[in-house]
Structure formats: C-alpha cells, structure tokens
Structure 1
C-alpha cells in the first residue's frame, strides 16, 4: 500500500511530495560525490567540454558560425547520456561498492540488455531532429534577409531577432519534453533491470506528480549549464558532474520500490 506522499507506478513507487529542499539536498549530495570521486567527474565533464569545443571550432572553420547558436542550444540534450557514468559512481558510492574505471565505464552498456543504448539512440535522434528544426526555422525567417549565413550580423536584423525568439520557444519546448523523458529514466536504467519504456513512464510520472519542483529542477539545470558553457564550455568540468550526481540523488528520493 502506498502512503499519501507516494503513487504506485508498476513496478515502482514514485514520490508525490517532492519539495525545494529536496533539490538543495540533491545538489549538496552531488557536490559531495564529486569531491569524493573527482577524477570520474572530470573525465565525463571533459568529454562534454571537448565535444562543445569541437562543435564550436568546426562551425567557425566551416564558415557557418550561425549554426553555433542552435548547436550550443541543443548540446545539453546529450548531457543526461554523458552523465550515465556519473550515476553509476553515485550508485556504487551509496552502496559501498568499489569504484573502478571498468565498472563505471561498463555502466554505459547498461545491464546487458541494450536499454541504455536504446535511450542513447533516442538522444541522438532528438539532437538530430533539433538541428533539422533549427535549420528549417533559419530558412523560413532568414532566407530572404540578404545577409550571408556566415555573418553573425544576421542576428541583429528584425528577421534574425524573430528567428531567435521562435527558435528559442521551439527549442525550449523540445528540451522540456526531452528532460521529462530522461531525467528519471536514465538513472533508473542504471539502477534497475527494467525496459526503457517503463523507465520513461516512471520519469513522466515523477514529473506529473511533482510539477513545480521538477520544473524548478529543469530551470536550475538549464541556468547552470548555460552559465557553465559561457567560458569556452570549461565550467562544465564542474557543473556537469555535480548536476549528474545530484540527479542520481533526486532519483533515489523520487523513485522507490
């Protein structure tokens, strides 16, 4: 039987009473995990930083800097998948298990059932779809602007500003949907032997029963990642692992047997 603050979502129970204090507690626990196991955090953070720097360099090298904005905006979509190893570090630290590179990196394969790989495919498709949508919005608003796509001055025009507004709104909705699908599902796939559809349903249930708090968590993630990306993505070396570990602890608070 579930209590007042819980809801049964087979095969687990999700909390219905998350509060802002749970977010601060998760962040504090995430910071402790990072400080206790900094090499793992820096390793996964460096992958994200390296990917961001490569995307930025490639876009400028290909004389298409106007792609930098949608690419940078969509880049956080892959953060939950990069954080899978961080979830495993937190899981092992919580359970008192040894934290070896082989065990942590092995978490990326899931529990031998390809469920995390399936989620990885969803991540890749979502990012690709966002880039296609961003290109379409760019074409609709700026095809007749007369300014070459290699110039950032295009964003100062009326059409450019309108494109940024519409593109930001569409991108925000896509990011929110993707967040709802992955925020609890990926930690769950690391923690339990369930299929990815069950994990997604559980993630959506946590959002549905705790909308204000989970929207606040989404806002915290978005603001922290955005600020961390400003200094050449280098802030992500710290921000990504802390948020990744914190998400694990929020999952543990939200999803129980």
Structure 2
C-alpha cells in the first residue's frame, strides 16, 4: 500500500516575498553609518544645489510660523512643529534624484533636479502626498480634540500665555503627555509608510501601494535599526528648527541623501 505522501513535493517553509514586490534586505547599524557617510559625500559634491532644498524648506517653515502667529493661532505651533519634519520626504525628492545620478556617474544641472517633482505628477507620488496629508489632517484634528478636553476654557491671547498654560499647569502637562503619545504613534505610522516608499517611487515604475508595502516590510524586517534611523531624523530635524530653521539648510540635504543610500541597501535592485 503506497503512502499518501509518496512523490509529493517537499514543503518550502522559507519566507517568500509577495509576488510583484521588491525583495528587502536585512540592514544593520553599520549600514546606517555608511549611508550617513555617503549622504555627506553627496552633499559635499553639490553643496549649493543640495543646500537650496534645505533653504527652501527653512523659508517655508519660517513662513508657516509667521502666518500662525499673525493669525493668532498660537496653539497650532506645537502640532505644526511636530508635523513639519514629517513632510520632509517630499522636499527631499530632488535630493534622491541627485544621489541617484551621482551614484550612476550621470551629469546634471539645476534644471533637471528642480523639475524632478514636476515629472512625478504623472506617476504615483501624488497619491503618496494624499496619504501624508490625510495622516497630518488626523494629527491636527486629534491635537485640537485633546487641547479642548484637557485645557478646556484656557485663553491663549498670545504666545507666552499659551506656553504658560501648557508648561506650568497640571492640565497642560496632561495635554502634553496625551498629545505626545498620539503624535509619536502617528509619526511612526507615517515614517513606516514613507521611509522607503518615497525613494522607490522615484527610482522605479511601481504603484504607491506596493511602495508603501515595501516600506512596511523593510521596517518590520529591521525594527531596531529603522527605529534608530527614525530617532536620528527626529532629533536632528527638531534641533535644526532651533536656530530660526537655518540648521535645515545643512541637515535636510544630508538626511535626504542618506535616506537614498539606506533605500539602496534595504531593497534589492530590480531584476534586469
């Protein structure tokens, strides 16, 4: 009597990448260090062009803060300050393109790099912008809700009054604790969705859902390393805001170039 399992193919228990999705790699802290070094090298190769993206982002930040103060919406400074670094991947799109061309030894001028986002309008980057803006909308809505429930009838007639209410009252401490937890959670969600998705959309013909899934898989496969990279980005960006946003002229380009090199190490090259 023959066995029912005789001649049946062996079961393959090795993890397999979902069909159609790029394969992801294991990365280490050494990969982050090497990518930071490569990112700094890219910045120094074209410092004025790279610095332009940081300068534009800094001027935009100054404009946002000035507008909120002018409108008397001082309560929005905290959520805006937290959300501000989260949209940096869009500002860094031109930096990804610079690193891609430098890596391939291709020449480029200002016009090719500054128009890279315009070329993305027919691709999937717009959908990623929608995802990002939706998460930011949820963040501002939740911040406003927490503000109303914790500080209730507190009056914020000026910037000093707002910070006094937030920093020196028990209700303000509760507000900061809850708001920080919500902000950290949404920031991690957005980081997980976009950290690899942005450069891969620029580099390959891939839909935005597949790009986000690849980004999630990279973070899931390398949770400690990617969490460390997220912490480096957050601390560096927040410190860069202190000197009137001017630190972004240097830090944003270096972080953008570095992200490209992390993507190159975390995702296997496309076949063919």
Contact 2:21 2:214 in 1 (8 A): no
Aligned to 2:212: 200
Count of residues in Structure 1 that have an aligned counterpart in Structure 2: 250
1:58 counterpart = 2:44: no
Matching residue of 1:76: 85
- List aligned pairs for 1:87-98, cutoff 5 A: 87-98=96-107
TM, length-normalised to structure 2? 0.87
Equivalents in 1 of 2:234, 2:132: separation in Å?
17
Q: 1:247 to 1:198 in 2, by over 3 A?
A: same
1:85 to 74, 79, 94: 94
Deviation at 1:7, TM superposition (A): 6.2
**Cα distance in structure 1, aligned partners of 2:213 and 2:50:** 28
Give deviations 1:35-65, integer Å, cap 9, x for gaps: 1011222111112101111111112222232
- Partners of 1:131 and 1:224 lie apart in 2 by 23
1:12-31 matched pairs, under 5 angstroms: 12-15=22-25, 17-31=26-40
Name 1:154's counterpart in structure 2: 165
Q: Secondary structure at the match of 1:133?
A: helix
Structure-1 residue corresponding to 2:254: 242
Could you list the runs of 5+ residues in structure 2 that have no partner in the other structure? 1-14
| Structure-1-length-normalised TM-score | 0.92
1:176 corresponds to: 188
Structure 1 residue 249: deviation in Å? 0.2
Note closer, same or farther for the CA distance 1:102–1:248 as it changes in structure 2 (3 Å cut): same
Between Structure 1 and Structure 2, whose CA radius of gyration is higher?
2
Unaligned runs of 5+ in 1: 1-5
